[in-house]
A and B are shown apart, each in its own frame.
Chain A
């Protein structure tokens, strides 16, 4: 069976910096595939090319058998790709529930509906509240998003990504900036989610990655130097040398 996502010879450079250097990667349906690599390795750039925020210079991205390399971002979302951002990207002026409800509403064919007040549409509000309840945020649903803490923003970021019901979730450092307890909660949440969706996870926290991932790819200077199970990666000499550090 073909992989859910197949990246071939992807390249992207910014001026002199090659952020994505001949990346080849297959992500199987249902797996949790982690990407690790030092800061500036090109992890976010890779995610952005998959989500459509950035166009690659060359190479191809095939999702569910369809070449999406030149599809705009909104259209990839409609095909079933969603992402979270390393730097929280929410609609701060709207309420928490509005953010999630908009993500649910995005599943409709279109939103050229002008008459009925959006906040009176039951299924959007109900499902939104249920999603927020999973993070214990239902009590804050009606507050302006800007009023919540960084940790809560990180959770809403995931709730918004979940709301799309996309098959492929691209999660860019969901634990970034979280305290130890918040991180533990997030890891538990991802463990729960694992198997229900296909997840491409970028994460710095090695313990989390080795505990969660089915497979891991190591990205260094824009190039994938190894892909394998956590055990394979742990014992890979190149990886130990280039990234994990000699112990």
Chain B
């Protein structure tokens, strides 16, 4: 018999609401909320990817916004060259090439930076991942052809016939389906033998090594998968905002992703989604009241992290299973 736990129910309810509400907003003339939901879902994909390493691997990466930027530039740069010439090898409007570039370059970046970062632990790991994130930030900042710190307008969205990303509802649906797939991918990995090793290494690395696991390679693999998925989210975000700039990959953006995971509740599938939702709704709500919204926002985040262990998921499902 299929038995649903409280977390399963929560997942179902949240995912259904996320599927049904945005189109209803569109049809009732509130397109703004559809757009808000699209941004939310895209950032949720990034948070779900980050959760694979942060929640299940215990690896506090403070540089994950870099992958969002890489993914968005993987759309912006080919579109730029297809429109204005040059760099034939990547130029193009096709979604296939954009996504391929986003995922592959993110994976490679994760492989190199992860290989080095994972040699350190604790606060050093946080610092070094942040440093690599800033390295990516300054890299794009320094390329004048792509607008430097002004960023690059993406004139044309990725082409993926018969779909059309200029249609906000279609873009939302693609993001939503991507999110569901991302959640299933992470859940499957986490429950697999690989995932058990990853979680074991989080709980007690020395014990896992003594058992015979070279945990370094397991963590690195998870890091690469996470980075690649996050890069995919970046390609979606580029298509959503039709603009990319180094600002998307700054350390504060990385911090926001971390907050989403922790706010929602790490080590659940729905946690990062709820964290992204909580984050974006709160930001929207508070910023409409006062321009000094950062302070109450920060205080609320800190309160949740301190007092609601297990984040929003833990808060809602309470003590039960």
A interface residues with partner B (beta carbon < 8 Å): 51, 53, 72-75, 77-78, 82-83, 85, 89-94, 98, 101-103, 105-108, 111-119, 121, 160, 164
Query: Are A94 and B209 neighbours in the complex by a CB distance under 8 Å?
Result: no
B283 contacts A by Cβ under 8 Å: no
14 additional A-B pairs beyond A77-B210, A91-B199, A117-B191, beta carbons within 8 Å, are A74-B215, A82-B211, A89-B207, A90-B204, A92-B204, A93-B202, A98-B196, A101-B196, A105-B196, A108-B193, A111-B197, A113-B193, A115-B192, A118-B193
Q: A94-B200, A111-B194, A113-B193 are in contact. Are A102 and B214 (CB under 8 A)?
A: no
Query: Are A51 and B194 neighbours in the complex by a CB distance under 8 Å?
Result: no
Query: Are B210 and A114 neighbours in the complex by a CB distance under 8 Å?
Result: no
Q: Tell me the smallest distance from the CB of B213 to a CB of chain A, in Å.
A: 6
- Residues of A near B188 (CB, < 8 A) are 114-115
Q: Tell me the smallest distance from the CB of A116 to a CB of chain B, in Å.
A: 6
- Residues of B near A102 (CB, < 8 A) are 196-197, 200, 208, 211
- Residues of A near B202 (CB, < 8 A) are 93
CA distance A82 to B195 in the complex (A): 23
B51 contacts A by Cβ under 8 Å: no
Query: Are B210 and A116 neighbours in the complex by a CB distance under 8 Å?
Result: no
Query: Are B191 and A118 neighbours in the complex by a CB distance under 8 Å?
Result: yes
CA distance A112 to B189 in the complex (A): 10
B interface residues with partner A (beta carbon < 8 Å): 188-189, 191-197, 199-200, 202-204, 206-215, 218, 221
Of residues B199, B203, B214, which shows the largest number of chain A Cβ atoms within 10 Å of its Cβ?
A: B203
Query: Are B210 and A82 neighbours in the complex by a CB distance under 8 Å?
Result: yes
Task: Jot down 12 A-B pairs with beta carbons below 8 A, ordered by A.
Answer: A75-B214, A83-B210, A90-B204, A91-B199, A91-B203, A93-B202, A106-B213, A112-B218, A114-B188, A114-B192, A115-B188, A115-B192
Q: A83-B210, A111-B218 are in contact. Are A105 and B204 (CB under 8 A)?
A: no
Query: Are A114 and B208 neighbours in the complex by a CB distance under 8 Å?
Result: no
Query: Are B192 and A113 neighbours in the complex by a CB distance under 8 Å?
Result: yes
Query: Are B211 and A119 neighbours in the complex by a CB distance under 8 Å?
Result: no
Q: A94-B199, A94-B200 are in contact. Are A111 and B193 (CB under 8 A)?
A: yes
Residue of A nearest to B215 (CB): A74
- Residues of B near A119 (CB, < 8 A) are 191
CA distance A68 to B218 in the complex (A): 23
CA distance A113 to B189 in the complex (A): 8
Query: Are B210 and A51 neighbours in the complex by a CB distance under 8 Å?
Result: yes
Q: Tell me the smallest distance from the CB of B320 to a CB of chain A, in Å.
A: 16
Query: Are A106 and B211 neighbours in the complex by a CB distance under 8 Å?
Result: yes
Q: A98-B196, A115-B192, A119-B191 are in contact. Are A164 and B204 (CB under 8 A)?
A: no
Query: Are B209 and A113 neighbours in the complex by a CB distance under 8 Å?
Result: no
Q: Tell me the smallest distance from the CB of B229 to a CB of chain A, in Å.
A: 13
Q: Tell me the smallest distance from the CB of A89 to a CB of chain B, in Å.
A: 5
- Residues of B near A103 (CB, < 8 A) are 211
CA distance A121 to B193 in the complex (A): 9
- Residues of B near A72 (CB, < 8 A) are 209, 214
CA distance A200 to B263 in the complex (A): 48
Query: Are B192 and A74 neighbours in the complex by a CB distance under 8 Å?
Result: no
**B209 in complex: contacting residue of A73, A90, A114, CB < 8 Å:** A73
**B210 in complex: contacting residue of A73, A101, A108, CB < 8 Å:** A73
Query: Are B209 and A74 neighbours in the complex by a CB distance under 8 Å?
Result: yes
**B189 in complex: contacting residue of A78, A114, A164, CB < 8 Å:** A114
CA distance A83 to B193 in the complex (A): 22
- Residues of B near A75 (CB, < 8 A) are 212, 214
CA distance A107 to B213 in the complex (A): 9
Q: A94-B199, A114-B188, A115-B188 are in contact. Are A105 and B210 (CB under 8 A)?
A: no
Residue of B nearest to A79 (CB): B212
Q: A82-B210, A111-B218 are in contact. Are A89 and B204 (CB under 8 A)?
A: yes
4 nearest A-B residue pairs (beta carbon) = A77-B212, A91-B203, A106-B211, A106-B212
Of residues A83, A114, A116, which shows the largest number of chain B Cβ atoms within 10 Å of its Cβ?
A: A114
Q: Tell me the smallest distance from the CB of A57 to a CB of chain B, in Å.
A: 21
Residue of B nearest to A76 (CB): B212
CA distance A53 to B209 in the complex (A): 9
Q: Tell me the smallest distance from the CB of B212 to a CB of chain A, in Å.
A: 3
CA distance A10 to B191 in the complex (A): 43
CA distance A214 to B218 in the complex (A): 40
Q: Tell me the smallest distance from the CB of B317 to a CB of chain A, in Å.
A: 17
- Residues of B near A106 (CB, < 8 A) are 211-213
- Residues of A near B218 (CB, < 8 A) are 111-112
Residue of B nearest to A83 (CB): B210
**A77 in complex: contacting residue of B195, B203, B211, B221, CB < 8 Å:** B211
**A113 in complex: contacting residue of B194, B207, B210, B212, CB < 8 Å:** B194
Residue of A nearest to B192 (CB): A114
CA distance A92 to B206 in the complex (A): 13
Q: A89-B206, A102-B208 are in contact. Are A118 and B196 (CB under 8 A)?
A: yes
